[in-house]
Amino acid sequence: MSYFDRMKDKIKNIEAKKEVIILGIETSCDETSAAVVRNGREVLGHKIASQIELHRKYGGVVPEIASRKHVEVINPLIDETVKEADIPLSEMDGIAVTYGPGLVGALLVGVATAKALAFGLETPLIGVHHIEGHISANYIVHKNLEPPFLCLVVSGGHSHLVGVMDYGRYEILGQTLDDAAGEAYDKIARTLKLGYPGGPVIDRLAQQGDPHFVEYPRPYIKDPHYNFSFSGLKTAVINHLHSMDQRGQKYRVEDIAASFQQAVVDVLVDKTIKAAEDTRSQRIVLAGGVAANSALKTQLGNRCREKGMELYYPTPLLCTDNGAMIASAGYYKLRRGLVSDLTLNAIPGLPLA
Ligand code: KG4
Ligand code: ZN
């Protein structure tokens, strides 16, 4: 009997199990992370090794450096995670791993590690979509949150409005046609020489700035669809900065940060509320690195309150890439019998739905 058939057999009785323990592994970009999660909601051990310092001097993630660092830290990091959870590897009910989208070399490190563990431990391997992971971070923070809901996924690589119909059932309502929201933050921060990543520093500076110092374009804000475009906004900010520099005009970085951020937040809030109204969603959920943004949380929260809708978002730690969200998503896949075989490969452009 092949490994896959043996696993199919093994998960037949998973429904009867009271406690399902999953090891989650995430290496899609510049965080190496592992977590042990019980029943998809309770984190027993969690380690995140961020590579930000390593990539900072290049102003962004260098794929080859990221892959090498993942190789170096993944095994000791899993050991520490399991130790923290105080559950031996042999007791894992499944090994969940991000297999896309992301940087191919980085993804491969996690996928190869997970496959080796799953094969060696005779336990199911569960390939997880990175965005499904980000969405699932909310299940850890909000114990009673269940689909259906509307989710705005905003990170360095993605800006998606997703109808979460059920666990694992997604309908993409809209997405960015060019840059992701976090990518725009990172590029503006680079132009302003604020370092990498740009989101947290722009968020902080914007709190001391005038959001109406300049009215930057709000791409597609009045259009009837739910797609985003942040490339034009980014160019508008960069051109504006160049023209002020050429004329020797002084400006406060705080005002630029606040004006740029207001344009991003206005678009995200308007599109999300419109999508929620059109789909009659009472619950809106944020996910991804940009979900940590204070202006987005406050302003979307205010609009939700006016409309009688509820807003959910993860803690800042669970907004950015982490292994716990992958373990949570893996749990719900395992519950539905969705396990992978050992041919699982990294897919850099993996679609969500
Ligand atoms: O989800 P994530 O860790 O990685 C991807 O899957 O892309 O998101 C990282 C992105 C970066 O672009 C970073 O600048 C942005 O999230 N970010 C923020 C904030 N914190 C992180 N953007 C806006 N405001 C923040 N507070
Ligand atoms: Zn991510």
Q: Model confidence over 144-176: pLDDT tens digits? A: 999 999 999 999 999 999 999 999 999 999 999
How many other β-carbons are positioned within 10 Å of the β-carbon of residue 210? 14
Distance spanning both ends of the chain, measured CA to CA: 32
- Tokens 């190496």: give the residue: 32
Give the ligand at the shortest distance from the Cα of 202: 1
**Ligand 1 contact, 293 CB (< 6 A):** yes
Ligand 1 contacts CB of residue 314 (under 6 A): no
Diameter of the chain by CA atoms? Answer: 74
**pLDDT at res. 131:** 97
> Ligand 1 in contact with 159 (CB < 6 A)?
no
* Distance separating alpha carbons of residues 161 and 163, to the nearest angstrom: 7
290 pocket-lining for ligand 1 (C-beta < 6 Å): yes
The per-residue pLDDT for 8 is: 87
Tokens of 13: 């009785």
Is the pLDDT reported for residue 227 higher than 90? yes
pLDDT for the residue numbered 302: 98
* Cβ-contact 69, 32 below 8 angstroms: yes
Atom 14, ligand 1: which residue's CA is nearest? Answer: 199
Q: Is the pTM of the predicted complex or chain greater than 0.95?
A: yes
Question: By alpha-carbon position, which residue is closest to atom 18 of ligand 1?
Answer: 199
> Where does the chain have alpha helices with state H?
3-10, 52-56, 63-85, 104-121, 130-141, 181-191, 198-206, 231-246, 253-278, 294-307, 316-319, 323-335
Res 10 pLDDT > 90 = no
CA of 288 to the centre of ligand 2 (A): 6
Q: Which is nearest to 40 in space by CA: 135, 111, 114, 110?
A: 135
Pairwise CA distance, residues 241 & 256, whole Å: 9
In ligand 1, the atom with minimum distance to the C-alpha of 294 is: 26
pLDDT at 171 (0 to 100) = 98
Average pLDDT over residues 333-343: 96
In single-letter form, the type of residue at position 299 comes to: Q
Residue 144 neighbours by CB under 8 Å, 6+ apart: none
For residue 186, the ligand 1 atom closest to its alpha carbon is: 14
Under a CB-based contact definition with an 8 Å cutoff, are residues 181 and 233 in contact?
no
3-state SS assignment for residue 174: strand
DSSP bridge partners of 96: 24, 126
* Chain centroid offset of residue 317 CA: 11
Asked if residue 203 has its Cβ within 6 Å of ligand 1, the reply is yes
- Whole-number Å distance, alpha carbon 156 to ligand 2 midpoint, is 7
Ligand 1 site, residue 157, Cβ cutoff 6 A: yes
CA of 244 to the centre of ligand 2 (A): 34
Proportion of the chain above pLDDT 70, given as a percent: 100
Answer whether 276 contacts ligand 1 (Cβ < 6 A).
no
Task: Please say if the pLDDT value at position 269 is more than 90.
Answer: yes
Q: Is 127 in the pocket of ligand 1 (CB under 6 A)?
A: no
Please name which of 168, 165, 159 lies closest in space to residue 127, comparing C-alpha atoms: 168
* CA–CA distance, 193 with 59 (Å, rounded to integer): 9
Characterize the bridge pairing of strands 149-154 and 125-129. unpaired
pLDDT band at 312 (very low <50, low <70, confident <90, very high): very high
Question: Which of helix, strand or coil describes residue 201?
Answer: helix
Task: Determine the distance separating the centroid of ligand 2 and the alpha carbon of 48, expressed in angstroms.
Answer: 13
User: Average model confidence (pLDDT) for the chain?
Assistant: 96
Which atom of ligand 1 lies closest to the CA of 288? Answer: 1
Would the pLDDT of 303 be above 90? yes
Domains of the chain, with CATH numbers? 3-137+320-335 (3.30.420.40), 148-312 (3.30.420.40)
